[in-house]
Structure 1
Amino acid sequence: MDFQKKRELILNGNMKKVILTLALPVMLNNFIHTLYNLTDTFFISKIGGNEVAGVQFVWPVVFLMLSFGIGMTTATSALISQYIGAGDHKKAGNMAGQAIILLLGMSLVFGTIGYFAAPYVVRWMGATGTLYENGVAYLSVMFAGLFSQFMMNAFNAIKQGQGDTMSPLIIGALSVGLNIILDPIFIFVLDLGITGAALATVLSTAIFAIYGIVSVFGDQQSLAVSVADLKPNKKAIGKIVEIGLPSSMGQAMAAFGFTVLNVFLVSFGEIVLTAFAIGNRINSLIMMPAMGIGSALAPVVGQNLGADNIDRAKNAVWTSVKLSTIILIIGAGIMLPFSRGIVALFSTDPEVIASGTEYLRVILISVPLMGYFQIFVGTFQGSGHTLYAMVLMMGRLWALRIPMIMYLSNSSGFGPSSIWYAMVISNFLTCIVGLGIYLSGKWQKKVIKTRRKKVQEVAA
């Protein structure tokens, strides 16, 4: 489907078809990456030590750095989608070029800082012995290759802002395919262990991220992005930062919150930390449809707000809620009876299996809540009102989950289970807050300024 047909579908097509058409490639992309994560966990678990715990322990730190780039790509996608909805393709293309320059610079600065700070950060988190060694080995390589993930995110944002979710699927599938091939080679053949797993991830992402960025330029592309758009424009970059900063802060504080959560997990022992890591990998399978729908919803909301179709943007949200609820309940119902057997695929330790099974069952029962969370975040990010998304992301962890874990973990009869139940309760309360913000209607105001004449010319 070409650029204009996709725009016409988003602005005027059947809403269920719109959401599913955009969401299915995202779901497949998420599935492919989830499959990789499971495969990566499988290979790392065969090294023979506590490498899985090491990766889980430091991953929130990686995400902490990534969150700054994610915020800017969220802003980029929102701006591009609203300019396209308003018919201003020139400004949409310029925003794409400015985002590439901004994200490249940020990745080089953050990557360098993170590489040298890795040993101190892991030590500060309380890791010792092999957990410290594995954490530093993985974290250092991931920071050194941070630019690859930033550029991949930039490519995805540019395409998704246009309503093109198929191109990120293709690039993502190729990247993951190469990653799966390189994992056993680097880990076992070259005997690089956990460092090899990180190198495989960085290399496979870098190759296809660079290819993706190069591909957005040229006459054959639907959105006109030229080399001239790479010339820094303070006003455009300022707009991206203005909209992206709240999202970045929300992502960063959420990532830091998960870092603190890992500190609590370590206090219960590496068995609980490993169970949490395995459970999260499995749970990401069931969350795949909700994440796909939330991601697809953002450009639909953005383009319709850009075209002043507020009622249609609202229709997109409630259609997404219905689709997400149905899909998640069916998926959880299928996986729930086999929870123990699924966890046992990734560990032979009876204690890890027992803890991981309890966690997975609790999360599966409450899985629609995470779907609603993704939809509210997608709505507020697509509208460009990232401050509301920040409130949800930060509030869920810092105002609700972490205080509840601190309280429940010191209460008799809970122990590690306090973490699982605090996650469910925090998800529920966050969804209530998200609904309140949505009903206020403040997210409906678009964040771009364009002349109405342009919209009329395109419509004609």
Structure 2
Amino acid sequence: MKDLTTGSEGKLIFSFALPMLAGNVFQQLYNVVDSIVVGRAIGKEALAAVGANFPFIFALISFVVGIAIGSTVVISQFFGAGKMKEVKRTIDTLYIFMFFAALVVSLTGIVFARPIFRLIDLPPDVLPDAVSYFKVYATGFIFFFGYQGTSAIMRGLGDSKTPFYFLGGSTLLNVALDLLFVLVFRWGIKGVAAATVVAQAAAFFAIIFYMNRYHRFLDFRPLQMKFDRDIFKKSLRIGLPTGFQQTFVAFGFMALYRIVNLFGTPTIAAYSIAVRIDSFAAMPAMNFSAALATFTGQNMGAGKMERVHKGLKVTLIMANVVAVFISVIALLFARPLMAVFTKDPAVIEIGKHYLLIVPLFYMVFATMFTINGVMRGAGDTLVPMFFTIISLWFVRIPASYFLSQKIGVTGIWWGIPIAWFVGLLLAFSYYKTGRWKRKVVVKHPSFSSSDDAR
């Protein structure tokens, strides 16, 4: 546990974001290793199948993860205010919710996997592999949610390092199992999914063992947990908009895949690889934003608004410096990056064009996400949800479809930065109004209306 209400804002946010960033790099390696092994050892159809699973899986888990984010904000504000009993009740409530949510999501996904893949017009040569991969992957949702819930709890308490250590070990295990199950046992695409499930289960059980042994306050004892309705309502108020936002984003990705699918299997495979690379580029901004959200939550809980404003300024600088560096790497090494995943020249060429367009605008994405981090930390997640819906459903998808009909597949890629610009404009305009400060869980008289316009 770490107090973020005193000390250098920049150093605290950077040191808090760094383990999360490293942890998410490891988590993304799950997907990257899957894609490399599948693309090189099985083929582009299987690679397209794994890529097509991403928006479907994201759609299933996003709502639940959004609720967990809401709990993180509640925990951070209670912790900043020194209300430890409320912190413990929030932790118990989150675990109970995550358990039942995992059961519902797993069963729903398994039943509707094939109809959903047909709905997005997945090509017949990709559909069987996509369904096979998902049905195995879905058995691990309970471990995934358990680990995500534990990570959310620790982030709310200012500890971003512990989850990183266990996730790192889990990723190494996943790499080893990928190679074993696919190259040695010849289990094909099911082996890739099975490796991820086993690795996720190992991460969850390992971190629970650690908590029970070294952090008695955070001990995981299911039979002694109590569900607190009032706490859950607070988490829902903050988490529901985030959950809906994540869900709308997930369905937006599925709609984009439907547009991509119109251009055939090589384009699907190329897009699947480009999205993997893109996810690495997006992680610094997303993790700086998450660190800023916890920083904001604790400082608003402690009534220190001035530190929130300073925290935003230094985070914007850090996030944009990293964004520029990543953009240069992606632009200079577009073709070699694609070639890591596949030997198919058509797939490489299509993906290269993606990486010559989208990385030009990573600074826009980083700025947008950082500003949203302040509002999430304050507990205002409803308005950013509408901004996301507008930029995705009313800008990105229509623009991608329209431009793809005019200039081909590259038109899909141009729809992405157009939507980011709209999202940034909306987020910045709302931040300047200061209305997000009124959503804080722990109220302080120091938050005056005169401070709203800062």
Q: TM-score, normalised by structure 2?
A: 0.93
Find the counterpart in structure 2 of residue 278 from structure 1: 273
Q: For residues 227-262 of structure 1, what are the alpha-carbon distances to aligned partners after superposition, in whole Å with 9 as ceiling and x for unaligned? A: 686222222222222321111111001100100100
Helix, strand or coil: the match of 2:130?
helix
CA distance 1:93–1:38, shift in 2 (3 Å): same
CA distance 1:322–1:190, shift in 2 (3 Å): same
Match of 1:104 among 95, 99, 121: 99
Match of 2:378 among 379, 383, 391: 383
Find the counterpart in structure 2 of residue 436 from structure 1: 429
Find the counterpart in structure 2 of residue 455 from structure 1: none
- Residue 334 (structure 2) pairs with residue 339 (structure 1): yes
Match of 1:59 among 54, 58, 71: 54
- Residue 4 (structure 2) pairs with residue 34 (structure 1): no
Q: For residues 321-367 of structure 1, what are the alpha-carbon distances to aligned partners after superposition, in whole Å with 9 as ceiling and x for unaligned? A: 11111121123223322211221222222221111111011111111
- Which letter does structure 2 place at the counterpart of 1:14? S
Find the counterpart in structure 2 of residue 151 from structure 1: 146
Alpha-carbon distance in structure 2 between the residues aligned to 1:108 and 1:287: 30
Q: Is the 8 A contact 1:89 1:224 kept in 2?
A: no
- Which letter does structure 1 place at the counterpart of 2:143? S
Q: Which runs of 4+ in 1 moved over 3 A?
A: 213-229, 449-452
Alpha-carbon distance in structure 1 between the residues aligned to 2:89 and 2:223: 8
- Which letter does structure 2 place at the counterpart of 1:403? P
Structure 1 segment 22-171 matched on structure 2, within 5 A: 22-45=16-39, 46-171=41-166
Q: Is the 8 A contact 2:378 2:439 kept in 1?
A: yes
Helix, strand or coil: the match of 1:163?
coil
Q: For residues 353-390 of structure 1, what are the alpha-carbon distances to aligned partners after superposition, in whole Å with 9 as ceiling and x for unaligned? A: 11111101111111111212321332222222111331
Match of 1:447 among 429, 432, 440: 440
Q: For residues 397-444 of structure 1, what are the alpha-carbon distances to aligned partners after superposition, in whole Å with 9 as ceiling and x for unaligned? A: 112101112221222xx1101111110111111111110111111122
Q: Is the 8 A contact 1:380 1:388 kept in 2?
A: no
Alpha-carbon distance in structure 1 between the residues aligned to 2:277 and 2:136: 25
Q: Is the 8 A contact 1:305 1:446 kept in 2?
A: no
- Residue 7 (structure 2) pairs with residue 13 (structure 1): yes
- Which letter does structure 2 place at the counterpart of 1:250? Q
- Gaps in structure 2 of 5+ consecutive residues: 446-454
- Which letter does structure 1 place at the counterpart of 2:33? T
Worse-superposed segment, 367-376 or 260-269: 367-376
Find the counterpart in structure 2 of residue 457 from structure 1: none
Find the counterpart in structure 2 of residue 419 from structure 1: 412
- Which letter does structure 2 place at the counterpart of 1:448? V
- Which letter does structure 2 place at the counterpart of 1:421? W
Match of 2:257 among 262, 282, 289: 262
CA distance 1:243–1:260, shift in 2 (3 Å): same
Query: Post-superposition shift, 1:314?
Result: 1.8
Alpha-carbon distance in structure 2 between the residues aligned to 1:206 and 1:171: 11
Query: Post-superposition shift, 1:14?
Result: 0.7
**Matched-pair identity in %:** 29
CA distance 1:388–1:217, shift in 2 (3 Å): farther
Structure 1 segment 185-200 matched on structure 2, within 5 A: 185-200=180-195
Alpha-carbon distance in structure 1 between the residues aligned to 2:177 and 2:223: 37
- Residue 306 (structure 2) pairs with residue 311 (structure 1): yes
CA distance 1:156–1:169, shift in 2 (3 Å): same
Find the counterpart in structure 2 of residue 349 from structure 1: 344
Alpha-carbon distance in structure 1 between the residues aligned to 2:188 and 2:358: 31
Find the counterpart in structure 2 of residue 396 from structure 1: 391
Helix, strand or coil: the match of 2:390?
helix
Alpha-carbon distance in structure 1 between the residues aligned to 2:312 and 2:144: 29
Q: Is the 8 A contact 1:78 1:299 kept in 2?
A: yes
Please report the RMSD computed on the Cα atoms of aligned residues, expressed in angstroms: 2.0
Q: Is the 8 A contact 1:138 1:198 kept in 2?
A: yes
Worse-superposed segment, 114-123 or 15-24: 114-123
- Gaps in structure 1 of 5+ consecutive residues: 453-460
Find the counterpart in structure 1 of residue 452 from structure 2: none
Helix, strand or coil: the match of 2:231?
helix
Alpha-carbon distance in structure 2 between the residues aligned to 1:447 and 1:68: 22
Find the counterpart in structure 2 of residue 298 from structure 1: 293
Q: For residues 299-328 of structure 1, what are the alpha-carbon distances to aligned partners after superposition, in whole Å with 9 as ceiling and x for unaligned? A: 101001111111211211121111111121
Query: Post-superposition shift, 1:270?
Result: 1.5
CA distance 1:229–1:306, shift in 2 (3 Å): farther
CA distance 1:203–1:167, shift in 2 (3 Å): same
Alpha-carbon distance in structure 1 between the residues aligned to 2:281 and 2:232: 37
Q: Is the 8 A contact 2:295 2:308 kept in 1?
A: yes
- Which letter does structure 1 place at the counterpart of 2:13? I
Q: TM-score, normalised by structure 1?
A: 0.92
Q: Is the 8 A contact 2:89 2:227 kept in 1?
A: no
- Residue 198 (structure 2) pairs with residue 203 (structure 1): yes
Alpha-carbon distance in structure 1 between the residues aligned to 2:59 and 2:194: 19
Helix, strand or coil: the match of 1:141?
helix
Structure 1 segment 243-258 matched on structure 2, within 5 A: 243-258=238-253
Alpha-carbon distance in structure 2 between the residues aligned to 1:280 and 1:101: 33
Query: Post-superposition shift, 1:49?
Result: 4.6
